[in-house]
Structure 1
Amino acid sequence: MRLVLLILGLSSIPFSSFAQEIILKDSITQLREVVLVDSLKAKQATGIIPSRIIGAKVFQNNSPVEITTSLNQVSGVYVLSGALNTNRITIRGVGARTPYGTDKIRLYYNGIPITNGTGFSTIEAFDLEDMNSIEIIKGPKGTAFGANLGGAILLNPKEALQQATTVTNNLTVGSYGLVKNHMGFTHTDNNLALEFRYGHMNMDGYRENSRFERDGLLLNTSYRIDAKNKIAFLLNYIDYTAQIASSLSQSDFEEDPTQAAYTWKAAQGYEANKYTLAALSHSHDFNAHFSNTTSLFYTYLDHYEPRPFNILDEYTNGFGFRTRFLGDIDLGGQRAQYSIGTELYKDEYRWGTYENLYESNTNNGSLQGDALSDNKEFRSQFNVFGTLTLPFAQYFWGQLGLNINKTKYDFRDLYHTGTENTSGQRSFDAIVLPSLTLKYIFYPKQELYLNISRGFSNPSLEETLTPDGAINPEIEQESGTNYELGSQFSLDNNKLKVNVALYRMAIKNLLVAQRVGEDEYIGKNAGKTKHQGIEVDMDYSLTPAPNFRLTPFLSYSYSNHRFLDFVDGDNDYSGNPLTGVPKHRFNSGLQMLWGNGLYWNITHQYVSGIPLTDANTSYSDSYNLLHTRIGYKKELFKGFTIGVDFGINNMTASKYARSVLINAVAFGDSEPRYYYPGNDRNYYGSLLLNYKL
């Protein structure tokens, strides 16, 4: 029994040291305060639900260009990134079958839901340099955060913590014409905390037709009215334009991975996005044991995308509120914690398509022609949730959770009239999603937990429509029950920290996106999948010499995900490995930190082959990536700090696919286009200036 517990115990504080900031000699006080605030937020948000928090220590391993590289360092999380503007986040295989983008995972920014009415999220709309930390809940354990099958990702923006005024500027330049500049201003006094940031980035890109340009503003401020009341205002605005190189066939990928897909290059395809998130929040402490936070929020996305087959013009207006009460009560010397809340999100999605006349535009790219469609959809999601955490004994807790979701779609065809009109409504039955977590702590910091939770996923917009464009009355929500056993364990005076999780989740009413055109998909419920695997994270902190810290770390994901029952037409794929998911992923690295402000980090990533078709007849090649970053930070004089760093990505110039398009269809005599090539060896360097008044 002790051996079993020890094996399960190889898990302490899932990369908990990764939740800490790298402590440089001249900033110990400030960064320790950041660690404390992050830990308190996580505890309040999730109770005893296990989650992973990554912060500056993970961010420090990678360039400040994109979030996805840091997320890929987390076991069980895999981001397929076709480009800076095309990311598909999967957690434990959920979301891997989505052709483009991220769904079946709920995203929150500073506690505000940023996932649209059908479940899609765009993490590329947020700047990594605006982030203080990212918290990841794997699977449907997050009762208060949607209980989606994939889980939830909580993005926490930077906040002004110390009572001071600071001005910061970080300039990064690198390969492929990269120029990124990020400016920040913070001010904090007894009542006011103000954070304002502006970032600009442009990059020509590794491939043809892949230029990217983005501007972003972040305003995050709060004001304490009195001892019991605080108000906060958040504004995040992103404006970016990204050319689209699209995917390549195997022959084109092997011959020249820098080329763009022929038709996308000819059309000079791109997407232009303007995204706004605004939120007003009020927090009130009724007493020391009961509080409430209520937020009102508004989101707006204006998207324009010329594609070879048509031009998409769309916008989404979203709004809603979220309120949550937190409290605790005394139970004979132990305090039971509870929370209850509700979240309403509604949006109006308006989209139309137009002819793309690029072939007759004299090599000048896309040209908008006549309208092909005009549609509007009203979507709403309503969640009621609650948790109760009970102390059964001094070191034994249980947490009961319940989420109830109600989703409605109202589709309106504004293009056709009469019998051709395909307008319709779909209201899904309310779905009840319970969760149970048990947690036992072996003195002093060894933990064992068990979770059983039910989750769901809504069909995407394309999956709700028939081939004729009408609402599909037969489509159902995916649902599944997650079973998870894990442990957190630390040894050697808390220097070695390891996390292990074993999970199994069966999903029924599997949503399958069936391709019926070059970029046209319809959905159907086609069977069941089984998601099971093992996740291991560990790191070890060494001080082999005075003022020198050495931290090796690793994470491993074993994903044995399969179709249990999947029949598509005349094809029976039951028993096949799940499409789009690598079976093995391994991340490792070494962080070195000297007390004089010098640091050097090396990271390695291995990804096994990915099945590209449901029949498993084609696989992508496995690959290894090696990155390094070295930097130095020092206070030159009181209040003024300078930092420089230099990094190399893909040091060995590996040729690999950083994303794949599963079940790609060949049109005419062409090959199916499965592959999004990854960048070759590339370099970057940064200059940081920070002044504290």
Structure 2
Amino acid sequence: MKTSLFLTFYVVSLSLVFGQNAQQDSLNALEEVVLIEQGIEKRAVGITPSSSIGLKDIEKFGPLDIATSMNQISGVYLLSGALNTNRITIRGVGARTPYGTDKLRLYFNNIPVTNGTGFSTIEAYDLENVGAVEIIKGPKGSSFGSNLGGAIILNTKAPEVGKTFLVNSLTVGSYEMFKNNLAFRHSEKNFNLSLSYNHLKTEGYRQNNQFERDGLLLSSSVVLGNRSKLDFLLNYIDYTAGIPSSLNQTDFEQNPTNADGNWLAAEGFEANKYTLAGVTHTYEFNSVLRNKTSIFYTYLDHYEPRPFNILDEFTNGFGLRSVFDGKFLMGNFTLGTEIYKDEYHWGTFQNLFRDNEGNGSVQGDRLSNNMEFRRQLNLFGTFEFLLEKNLTAQIGLSLNKTKYDFRDLFNAGEANTSAHRDFDAILLPSLELQYRLKNGILYANVSRGFSNPGLEETLTPEGVINPDISQEKGINYEFGGQFRLLNEALQLSATAYRMRINDLLVAQRVGEDQYIGTNAGKTRHQGLEMDARYAISVSNALLLTPYLSYTLSDHSFVDFVDDDSNFSGNPLTGVPKNRISSGLDLVHDSGFVFNLSHQYVDDIPLTDANTISSESYNVINVSSRYSLAMNKNLKLGFNAGVNNVFDTNYAGSVLINAVGFGGNLPRYYYPANGINYYGKIGVTYTF
């Protein structure tokens, strides 16, 4: 509690100090270069504000540090064990997932890219091609799935009308990192085209940590008339990544660059080919009614040799998203649907790496062969209306229907485990209020959300569908405000929330690659999110922008009994109670920008009994960039930085409730990169 009070005092004091040192006359001369990213187009439908980071925020930490970029947003915590091992949690939701990101929805240019069991893969996208990341925290996004964790919306860079240019950026850095991104963009009144190719290769910080990726992104828009427009999207990623896996505490502290011995001996890796193709049609019926409809296809081919077996899988996904929006009576409405289905094929094989004379994995006999058909239907609608002059209300309602159909293609007769699970339809209402002040807004939200069980949670270790598993459900209460003071130079926001989740899904590890899901109890998620940013004009040519985000996560088990153990009242596993992201941007009108950033993460409970926790840590990063126009057609850009300046040994990700097998210590920790450097040169040629 003392820490929380201190941090709150720190935020408020910092804001007051900035306010007292304002130089308003000079600021007006520099207002066009204020780096507050207010030009980001919001895609979320709702009067409770969403959060976002723009291209400049992403570029501060180099092209590989996804985690630090995302962790600038209060309430959002991305744990990264490697470039291919990321887990995003929002307000503690998803923290208990062993691997990957679930319990939220991920969208890419209006197209949902979360699979049939709710898992999302942010590493399937090159952030150099992303212009903005928008985040809806909690289930208030009726039009974006009403998941307990919320939604993340990735948007590609917006076209510049009347411009045609070629851009190449080359980045080199520590761990033999090489990255190149080549993009061609053309835009005119009724047509635009963007085509980019990226290549990345790095040996990584740890043993067996190499990563190589090639990607192609094509986006285009064609205006068909006064009322109609078509958008095309194709994203292809092909990457291979070594898997060093997690470490026990002794190895983490003494030899963080090592890989786990079994994964190293097997030379474990994953190879992925991912394709997303979509077409979006926008039609304006008249000035008060519009429709946007997307149809899309996704394909994932995944091959992963592990010490215990080899996983070979592929997924075909198909879907449609259609949204009507417009004016009705005295308000604004949205009405839409998302239909998604995929076909998931997976099998496992023996891994004979121990018989391969130290040369890594070798595929042996088949151990399983399975297929699952997964279906989801989301219906949603919102209506926004004015209650009085400054008070706006929005009601929302969504409905989810989910079905799994599991086919065992390996076993016959009584040993066959084919089954299906048809979840009951779930209704998810929401209510939002917004009151406009002279210099800001106050808002409140009450909304119901849900989470579907993942694959491991729906099946028993024997591969049988668990008929007793049910969806997590919760109600979110939220109140906050956003304020712009001192001629909008000072921006403050604060949000308090409380969410209680019932039927908590728990993935219990019962084997090296075996989990079983149960609905084990209830959790209470409550917290405070605060953000402050101030633009100080030092002179007519120099702008100083300090910023700070603070997250208090006071999450706990309300009612959680696991076998004979009662964990009720314990802090929620996998969530740090306090986090700070702070920094300082210095911008000169010559084109030079300098950034100093700081991340603080509190200790994280690693077991439900809270018997062991990771250590808290502080990390400092610095970066600078400079842009220079050589002539009217040619522009150069330079970017360089140092991440983890003081070479702090900290866990970039953790595995909760880890179990040691064969007498080995449990492996809780994924070491983050040590001190690392990068340098980038960009060339832009305008035709």
- TM bucket normalised to smaller: over 0.9
Q: Kindly provide the amino acid, as one letter, of the partner of residue 51 in structure 1.
A: S
Shift in Å, 1:330: 5.3
Q: How does 1:527-676 map onto structure 2 within 5 Å?
A: 527-676=521-670
After superposition, the Cα gap between the structure-2 partners of 1:488 and 1:427, relative to the gap in structure 1 and judged at 3 Å, is same
Match of 2:351 among 332, 338, 356: 356
Q: Kindly provide the amino acid, as one letter, of the partner of residue 376 in structure 2.
A: Q
Q: Kindly provide the amino acid, as one letter, of the partner of residue 114 in structure 2.
A: T
Shift in Å, 1:26: 13
1:17 corresponding residue in structure 2: none
1:4 corresponding residue in structure 2: none
Q: How does 1:246-265 map onto structure 2 within 5 Å?
A: 246-265=245-264
CA distance in 2, matches of 1:523, 1:419: 23
Q: Kindly provide the amino acid, as one letter, of the partner of residue 422 in structure 2.
A: S
CA distance in 2, matches of 1:314, 1:605: 37
Q: How does 1:242-641 map onto structure 2 within 5 Å?
A: 242-329=241-328, 331=330, 336-443=331-438, 445-641=439-635
Unaligned runs of 5+ in 1: 1-6, 13-22
Deviations 1:625-675 (A, max 9, x none): 000001210111012110112100000111111100000001122110000
Deviations 1:340-384 (A, max 9, x none): 000000000000000000000011100000000000000011000
**1:245, 1:261 within 8 Å by CA — same for their partners in 2?**
yes
Please state whether the residue corresponding to 2:468 is helix, strand or coil: coil
Deviations 1:484-536 (A, max 9, x none): 00000121111110110000000000000000111211100000000000000
**1:182, 1:200 within 8 Å by CA — same for their partners in 2?**
yes
CA distance in 2, matches of 1:367, 1:295: 42
Q: Kindly provide the amino acid, as one letter, of the partner of residue 120 in structure 2.
A: S
Shift in Å, 1:161: 2.2
CA distance in 1, matches of 2:35, 2:666: 51
2:192 corresponding residue in structure 1: 193
Q: Kindly provide the amino acid, as one letter, of the partner of residue 523 in structure 2.
A: T
CA distance in 1, matches of 2:156, 2:405: 34
Q: Kindly provide the amino acid, as one letter, of the partner of residue 347 in structure 2.
A: G
Instruction: Give the TM-score taking structure 2 as reference length.
Output: 0.95
**2:460, 2:515 within 8 Å by CA — same for their partners in 1?**
no
Shift in Å, 1:62: 1.2
Q: How does 1:23-422 map onto structure 2 within 5 Å?
A: 36=39, 38-39=40-41, 41-42=42-43, 45-329=44-328, 331=330, 336-422=331-417
Q: Kindly provide the amino acid, as one letter, of the partner of residue 311 in structure 2.
A: L
**1:66, 1:127 within 8 Å by CA — same for their partners in 2?**
no
**2:37, 2:53 within 8 Å by CA — same for their partners in 1?**
no
CA distance in 2, matches of 1:519, 1:579: 21
Shift in Å, 1:34: 8.8
Shift in Å, 1:214: 0.4
Deviations 1:535-568 (A, max 9, x none): 0011001111011110000000000100000000
Deviations 1:16-58 (A, max 9, x none): xxxxxxx9x99979x999954x33x43xx32313201210231
Q: Kindly provide the amino acid, as one letter, of the partner of residue 462 in structure 1.
A: E
**1:218, 1:237 within 8 Å by CA — same for their partners in 2?**
yes
CA distance in 1, matches of 2:534, 2:37: 21
Shift in Å, 1:431: 0.2
CA distance in 1, matches of 2:192, 2:491: 34
Q: Kindly provide the amino acid, as one letter, of the partner of residue 396 in structure 1.
A: L
Shift in Å, 1:69: 1.9
Shift in Å, 1:67: 2.7
1:18 corresponding residue in structure 2: none
Please state whether the residue corresponding to 1:187 is helix, strand or coil: strand
**1:267, 1:366 within 8 Å by CA — same for their partners in 2?**
yes
CA distance in 1, matches of 2:120, 2:265: 29
Deviations 1:390-435 (A, max 9, x none): 0112211000000100000000000100001110000100000001
Q: Kindly provide the amino acid, as one letter, of the partner of residue 160 in structure 1.
A: P
After superposition, the Cα gap between the structure-2 partners of 1:241 and 1:184, relative to the gap in structure 1 and judged at 3 Å, is same
Shift in Å, 1:593: 0.4
Please state whether the residue corresponding to 2:94 is helix, strand or coil: coil
Shift in Å, 1:162: 2.3
CA distance in 2, matches of 1:577, 1:282: 47
**2:37, 2:54 within 8 Å by CA — same for their partners in 1?**
no
CA distance in 2, matches of 1:219, 1:160: 13
1:15 corresponding residue in structure 2: none
**1:158, 1:195 within 8 Å by CA — same for their partners in 2?**
no
1:16 corresponding residue in structure 2: none
Shift in Å, 1:232: 1.0
CA distance in 1, matches of 2:447, 2:92: 17
**1:229, 1:285 within 8 Å by CA — same for their partners in 2?**
yes
Deviations 1:239-283 (A, max 9, x none): 000000000001111121000000000000000000000001110
Q: Kindly provide the amino acid, as one letter, of the partner of residue 347 in structure 1.
A: D
CA distance in 2, matches of 1:482, 1:26: 41
**2:30, 2:537 within 8 Å by CA — same for their partners in 1?**
no
CA distance in 1, matches of 2:624, 2:461: 53
Q: Kindly provide the amino acid, as one letter, of the partner of residue 358 in structure 2.
A: N
**2:80, 2:86 within 8 Å by CA — same for their partners in 1?**
yes
**2:30, 2:541 within 8 Å by CA — same for their partners in 1?**
no
Unaligned runs of 5+ in 2: 1-8, 16-26
CA distance in 1, matches of 2:178, 2:412: 50
CA distance in 2, matches of 1:227, 1:435: 35
Please state whether the residue corresponding to 2:546 is helix, strand or coil: strand
**2:48, 2:444 within 8 Å by CA — same for their partners in 1?**
no
Please state whether the residue corresponding to 2:68 is helix, strand or coil: helix
Number of residue equivalences: 666
Please state whether the residue corresponding to 2:250 is helix, strand or coil: helix
**1:608, 1:622 within 8 Å by CA — same for their partners in 2?**
yes
**1:312, 1:354 within 8 Å by CA — same for their partners in 2?**
yes
Deviations 1:457-491 (A, max 9, x none): 00001100122211111000000000000000121
CA RMSD of aligned residues (A): 2.0
Please state whether the residue corresponding to 1:469 is helix, strand or coil: coil
CA distance in 2, matches of 1:226, 1:651: 54
**2:52, 2:73 within 8 Å by CA — same for their partners in 1?**
no
CA distance in 2, matches of 1:73, 1:469: 40
Q: Kindly provide the amino acid, as one letter, of the partner of residue 125 in structure 2.
A: F
CA distance in 2, matches of 1:207, 1:159: 37
After superposition, the Cα gap between the structure-2 partners of 1:607 and 1:633, relative to the gap in structure 1 and judged at 3 Å, is same
Q: Kindly provide the amino acid, as one letter, of the partner of residue 67 in structure 2.
A: T
Instruction: Give the TM-score taking structure 1 as reference length.
Output: 0.94
CA distance in 2, matches of 1:138, 1:65: 24
Q: Kindly provide the amino acid, as one letter, of the partner of residue 467 in structure 1.
A: P
Please state whether the residue corresponding to 1:545 is helix, strand or coil: coil
Shift in Å, 1:68: 2.5
